[in-house]
Chain A
């Protein structure tokens, strides 16, 4: 099975390489277009290089720490995770900066929206395939090297091991956790750093260029406009890719670790689990994910190989739908044949061998439901956003209060859907089913990431068309594709948040299992007593953490955006020829401000996610951290939904007014909606996406270190002094 999985992973990467090559061979257009795209590409390259430089230094320190405190293989797999996630982000960013100008040029040469859509989607598919391919490739390497070669997945390897600090753990869980943490680190730095970069540039470009100087979006006279386009690549492409790769890996490893924990704690006794079943349960998520990738390759090929219509939204939906349906059907057959003959009752499969598949389908449907609800709360085709647009007539304050109200209300029903999915998945296949629900949600991640990446590529293409003064027909095509990309992006965020919640739940269960002693092989009761003061206070602190984290992020964006605003004002003041078109703005300084600001400001929130559970654990012990994880998960999931939906609604309310409602552009309602959109920008594109990574990083760090602070913590040390 693993051989097939590795072939599929390599096949996905090969398909990505072919698409990369095809896009690269296309004409990059006129010298003027190339000059603009080169500036964007060089800026993006420079930022990612600097960012990865910082991340790799941090990663080396963390790897050494993991190697010393936990095990050498945790350190090594951690670096593998960093490498795989970093590679996906890097290649995604590269193809985005190559595709943008080619998308613009194909629109210029052909004037055909269908052909332009294909180039943008082909570019986006490279990111999607890299996410699926690198994630799975890394996992298979962990399985082969650490599982098979070092025997961690054999019967002898599935034992509690003690290291030199007398810390106990099951080796393969630490190998997998290290890999997941490596992916999470890149995702956190990518999302936080990219998010600060892109929103600071965006706000700087808008606040001075559009609002003060009255020049339109993507006007080449705006000094921050290239930085804004660079931000799309480093935040919305590289950051998004690393984010969803991390979610994908997090969902897969949570199920495998849970299976191992279930096996270890039920090797003997009344509910004994057979080893062959566990072998199956450990590989099943990989097979499931591999079928998802094959389905997505077919879905992508379906769009690229035939003549497309002039309706890009329909084409993208069709491709995603085909990927999703094939995944569901394919995994159904796979599940039935894979578990045939296995005694699955012991693991809690209440609906026979198809139980994990049913749980995954429940997760999948929940993901679709959450995505659709995101559209209901953010699209101007629905009442909530129209109500927000209407409130804008009465001014800035009511736009803000209505946006907050809509955002808060939008949290409830997605949470109800998640709750139902968790209850159903648990009823069908136990805790393993809950983790499969998370995998089900992300099973066609290749297709969703391809569509999500298509958005920023089209956005950049629009910017290049605008800056190089291409024909209005070209700009209409790229604007249309950009608008489609905006709609699809909101739906993708729902999947990321939903899967984070489900994966965090199974990681949390693993966290509790990881506290089992070497003797707990005949059952281990999972319990967390919320009346216990340590757990309760941990929950309180955990619930407050996402607010602290979000506050730091918003402040960082504000700080860098202020520097950007001052720089753009300075350039307009000191170089008067900019506005008359006689002098070129200094784009490089604006890119440097966003870049330096993002690099400086990303460290604190990223480190907070790692250090918070460690500080809690070493000071107050595992109960406190257990409470903390619950508190953080509950508060971060709801806050992420709020920020994503409120920000999306503010953005689309502005677009609704700009489409000629309530006075349209330049009206009082429009001015109010611009303020709302600016407030929502860091919420939906910096805070929201980072929160779901926060949940998983804290869960994985806690899982890795629980055995350490179970043994070494200040609270127990003080207690021992009193005895």
Chain B
């Protein structure tokens, strides 16, 4: 009996893909297991299939069959445009983070936290459907709600984002393994922080094209999926837990 998995990829591009591969195989296949010679990070969520929508599930069932030589079908694309807003978040399953080295980490859904530690500012990487790097005065729960609300002039129908670790501009040496977020233009970072902490702005775009450099090293507390009527939260495991339980992934993600 054939098993079809449905994967909503949210990074680097959004798509809904049917596949006979399990999530680990799919992550590895998409990240580097082809002859393309590319090595990409990939984030995807397994979703229930066959929910009422305009996706062509019949097409998925017909096409997602094993090859003549018995190899499983790796990918059948069901859509590549405005996907996130068309998947009801009730149907989201486990979130998978695949490194460019092909290692995959599974994150389970959790209750969206009511409160987050109070800070003067937060740093967000929007992942889908848009990908700017944003400094905001709002904590993770409020930020997503605001972005999909009518109050926001740049309202989105749905958003996926994560909060990031921030460099202390006063101590640019002891950064930890923050990867490419450490930039030479610390002055701009300080200007943006000032704009949201004392300048009265709710949010300020720090970089428009940072997403290509985004790595898992800098994720702070977790990943948020927000639609106007539903919020889903995937907490990022603590560093020590990752080392103990997912050492290969942590190493591949350059956490160690």
Interface residues of A (CB under 8 A from B): 212-216, 219, 390, 393-394, 469, 472, 475, 572-573, 576-577, 579-581, 658, 660-670
Lowest 10 CB-CB distances: which A-B pairs, in order? Answer: A663-B182, A666-B179, A664-B177, A214-B100, A580-B33, A472-B247, A665-B254, A660-B176, A215-B101, A214-B101
Chain B contacts for A577, CB-based, 8 A = 33
Alpha-carbon distance between A212 and B248 when the two chains are bound, in angstroms = 18
| Known A-B contacts A215-B252, A393-B184; A667 and B178 likewise in contact (beta carbons under 8 Å) | yes
As a 0/1 sequence over residues 234 to 256 of chain B, the CB contacts with chain A under 8 angstroms (1 = contact) are 00000000011001100110100
Alpha-carbon distance between A579 and B102 when the two chains are bound, in angstroms = 7
Taking the closest CB of chain A, its distance from the CB of B206, in whole angstroms, is 15
Contact at B174–A576, with CB atoms within 8 Å? Answer: no
Chain B contacts for A670, CB-based, 8 A = 179
| Known A-B contacts A579-B32, A668-B180, A668-B182; A214 and B39 likewise in contact (beta carbons under 8 Å) | yes
Contact at B252–A576, with CB atoms within 8 Å? Answer: no
Alpha-carbon distance between A159 and B97 when the two chains are bound, in angstroms = 80
Q: Mark out the residues of chain B between 158 and 184 whose CB falls within 8 Å of any chain A CB in the assembled complex.
A: 172-184
Q: Which of A212, A394, A580 contacts B184 (CB 8 A)?
A: A394
Contact at A581–B28, with CB atoms within 8 Å? Answer: yes
Extra inter-chain contacts (12) besides given A662-B173, A662-B175, A668-B182, CB under 8 Å: A213-B101, A216-B252, A472-B244, A579-B33, A581-B28, A660-B175, A663-B180, A663-B182, A664-B178, A664-B182, A666-B217, A667-B180
Q: Does more than half of chain B's interface fall in helix, strand or loop, or is it mixed?
A: loop
- B side interface size, CB within 8 A: 35
Contact at B183–A668, with CB atoms within 8 Å? Answer: yes
Chain A contacts for B172, CB-based, 8 A = 662
Chain A contacts for B101, CB-based, 8 A = 213-216, 219
Chain A contacts for B32, CB-based, 8 A = 213-214, 579-580
Alpha-carbon distance between A688 and B180 when the two chains are bound, in angstroms = 34
Chain B contacts for A666, CB-based, 8 A = 177, 179-180, 215, 217, 254
Which residue from chain A places its CB closest to the CB of B216 in the assembled complex? A666
Which residue from chain A places its CB closest to the CB of B213 in the assembled complex? A666
Which residue from chain A places its CB closest to the CB of B217 in the assembled complex? A666
As a 0/1 sequence over residues 4 to 18 of chain B, the CB contacts with chain A under 8 angstroms (1 = contact) are 000000000000000
| Known A-B contacts A216-B251, A472-B244, A573-B35; A663 and B184 likewise in contact (beta carbons under 8 Å) | no
Taking the closest CB of chain B, its distance from the CB of A569, in whole angstroms, is 8
Q: List 26 A-B contacts (CB under 8 A).
A: A213-B32, A213-B101, A214-B39, A214-B252, A469-B248, A472-B244, A576-B35, A577-B33, A579-B33, A580-B33, A660-B175, A660-B177, A661-B173, A663-B177, A663-B178, A664-B175, A664-B176, A664-B177, A664-B179, A665-B177, A665-B254, A666-B217, A667-B179, A667-B180, A668-B182, A668-B183
Which residue from chain A places its CB closest to the CB of B173 in the assembled complex? A661
Alpha-carbon distance between A219 and B100 when the two chains are bound, in angstroms = 14
In the assembled complex, B221 has its CB within 8 A of some CB on chain A: no
In the assembled complex, B149 has its CB within 8 A of some CB on chain A: no
Alpha-carbon distance between A315 and B39 when the two chains are bound, in angstroms = 43
In the assembled complex, B37 has its CB within 8 A of some CB on chain A: yes
Contact at B39–A212, with CB atoms within 8 Å? Answer: yes
Q: Mark out the residues of chain B between 172 and 203 whose CB falls within 8 Å of any chain A CB in the assembled complex.
A: 172-184
Q: Which of A213, A472, A580 contacts B29 (CB 8 A)?
A: A580
Chain B contacts for A576, CB-based, 8 A = 33-35
Which residue from chain B places its CB closest to the CB of A209 in the assembled complex? B101
Taking the closest CB of chain B, its distance from the CB of A152, in whole angstroms, is 61
Contact at B175–A663, with CB atoms within 8 Å? Answer: yes
Chain B contacts for A581, CB-based, 8 A = 28, 102
| Known A-B contacts A212-B39, A580-B25; A665 and B217 likewise in contact (beta carbons under 8 Å) | yes
Chain A contacts for B248, CB-based, 8 A = 469
Alpha-carbon distance between A674 and B244 when the two chains are bound, in angstroms = 27
In the assembled complex, B99 has its CB within 8 A of some CB on chain A: yes
Alpha-carbon distance between A697 and B102 when the two chains are bound, in angstroms = 50
Contact at A573–B37, with CB atoms within 8 Å? Answer: yes
Taking the closest CB of chain B, its distance from the CB of A392, in whole angstroms, is 11
Chain B contacts for A215, CB-based, 8 A = 101-102, 252
Q: Which of B37, B244, B252 contacts A572 (CB 8 A)?
A: B37
Alpha-carbon distance between A667 and B182 when the two chains are bound, in angstroms = 6
Alpha-carbon distance between A393 and B34 when the two chains are bound, in angstroms = 34
Contact at B102–A660, with CB atoms within 8 Å? Answer: no
